[in-house]
Structure 1
Amino acid sequence: MKAMPMALAGALTVAGALWLAWPQEQERYRPARASAAPNPPAAGRPWLDDWPPANQAKPGAGTPLAAAHSLAQTHLHGDPDAPPIARDIPAPARPTAQELADPKAYQAFEARQNAQVLAAYVKAVDEELPRLREDIARGRAMGIAADQLARAEEKVRALENMRAQLVKDHPAPGR
């Protein structure tokens, strides 16, 4: 029974020591607020802008502080290793107020939208077919199995047939 009070006293001593050490450890990394910060502080997270303080060396690689610093920098400035996001998709056309008010005008708007989608499909097939044919020729030269080449050729034929059917069923003006 005497071991239990000694263990409790030891645990309390360790807990007290940790409690006393913890605020000092936190204060060491808390930045001093400068009057003019280079970046506006993030809402509710001013520590993120100035961490680590300018008068303190950046943490070494492989430490938990290095990972935290890296995360803070990535949050502020983005990931330098990430590829740029390129969006070349135009904003979708919206119907005008007159088209929304008139059912026939809105049907004409929908018809134009559908024609644009079909024209984009035909254009994509026209661009992709030469590449597919080159791939088939390269595969034939490399000795790819005949059944795999036959499947690829069947896909090319299906794309050609679908394209021809679209052009026949939905002739575009000027084509």
Structure 2
Amino acid sequence: MRPVLLALAGAALVGGALWLVWPQDDLPPDAGAAQASAGTPAPPAARPWLDAWPAPTQAAPAGEAALPAAQSLAQTRLHGDPQAPPIALDVPARARPTAEELADPKAYQAFEARQNAQVMAAYVKAVDEELPRLRDDIARGRSMGIAADKIAKAEDKARGLENMRAQLLKDHPAIGK
């Protein structure tokens, strides 16, 4: 008994799906001719449930035909999205050693020392910029009633940053200038 019910339910489901997609001839006979003379192509068979879908909101740019979605995706993967804003990175290019520095070990060591000094100076500068913000965050957290252990953890981080900055300036006084 149960397999029979499943077979009937499956047949009803397939029949309903076929009924939904079957072309319906309820358009007047001259509707296609009137649309063709107006310059718009006549729709295939009218399917109200399909025609109820909204039209795409973005039309193709003037002079370009709309691409199928798969082709558009493939082109975007290969060439990027022309409508996407550019990605601007403000990272300066790293200095490269000259041929003379590469040839002479002492000159290359001086180049490496300059590079390391620049990194340490950037660290000191970042600590100088971010430490006041961290202190403000700690004060705001206290006023909001944040747990004391979390406040203590943030204060330890701030002290660690200050200690590292002081140690760098003590070991390399030239980077503080």
TM tier relative to shorter chain: 0.5 to 0.7
Deviation per CA, 1:85-140, whole angstroms, max 9, x where unpaired?
22111111111111112221111111101100110111111111011111111111
d(CA) in 2 for partners of 1:151, 1:173: 29
Q: CA RMSD in A?
A: 2.7
Deviation per CA, 1:39-83, whole angstroms, max 9, x where unpaired?
xxxxxxxxxxxx9xx797x58xxxxx5x42652563455174x66
d(CA) in 1 for partners of 2:176, 2:160: 25
- Kindly name which structure, 1 or 2, has the bigger radius of gyration based on alpha carbons: 2
Match of 2:133 in 1: 131
Structure 1 pair 106–73 and aligned structure 2 pair: CA distance change class (3 A): closer
Structure 1 pair 112–138 and aligned structure 2 pair: CA distance change class (3 A): same
Q: Unpaired segments of 5 or more residues in structure 2?
A: 1-59
Structure 1 pair 149–101 and aligned structure 2 pair: CA distance change class (3 A): same
Structure 1 pair 69–173 and aligned structure 2 pair: CA distance change class (3 A): closer
d(CA) in 1 for partners of 2:160, 2:64: 67
- Aligned runs of 1:1-175 on 2, under 5 Å? 58=66, 67-68=69-70, 70-72=72-74, 74-75=76-77, 76=79, 78=81, 80=83, 84-172=86-174, 175=177
d(CA) in 1 for partners of 2:141, 2:64: 62
Deviation per CA, 1:137-163, whole angstroms, max 9, x where unpaired?
111111111111011011000000011
Structure 1 pair 157–88 and aligned structure 2 pair: CA distance change class (3 A): same
d(CA) in 2 for partners of 1:83, 1:142: 39
Runs of 4+ in 1 over 3 A off after TM superposition: 72-77
Query: Relative contact order: is structure 1 or structure 2 higher (C-alpha 8 Å, sep ≥ 6)?
Result: 2
d(CA) in 2 for partners of 1:113, 1:55: 51
Identity of aligned residues (%): 74
Match of 2:45 in 1: none
d(CA) in 1 for partners of 2:160, 2:75: 51
